[in-house]
Structure 1
């Protein structure tokens, strides 16, 4: 086998994580987000919760973004966070949209990093889904 053929073989080989069926992947995601010790994910922490799956691959991002049950229980951080998210209202809106029409369980705390107007927008977005 020539050294030219090796990259072609590597390119054609799928990663093992890409061969999992959607049902198994969804269950793994659910257990990672809502395991024994975590009932809510921090909506503004894109390094944890369902946000993190979207950083692995486009197929994982698609599965995570289209699994509403991953997005139904979230919290805003309470206390000082040190790093303010650029557009927290958009993040809340994205989570609410991805949760489809499933029942929500939210814990919202006013964030010191944001202006009262931004905090109000966050609460209004959540209140608009209170029927769930």
Structure 2
């Protein structure tokens, strides 16, 4: 009788431990706890930084890149306006691509808020970024 009681209590304890193990695994997925944390984290990372900004210079007439300085001329209400932007010693990414999402004669400056500036120059301007950046000073 003592052996039967010991075996039954051992089986009950083992079943209780196994049920706790299964309940512990299924509970977060039922409530969405762990999935909710990863989704919130992904949404937080995908969201724009509060200090992110975009500046679009439209009606740009010419673009040059010389000695680490991006120079471009835009047409303003008051006439032509020259812009100079030093890109050396800064976290600047120059992008030259088709102007599908922006006007063809424009330059876009995207500040991501994390100390990196993306400068998008459309293919309508004849400028070779690789030659301009690797030219000797």
Please identify the structure whose Cα radius of gyration is greater: 2
TM score, norm. by length of structure 2: 0.24
Q: Which has the higher helix share?
A: 1
TM-score using structure 1 length: 0.25
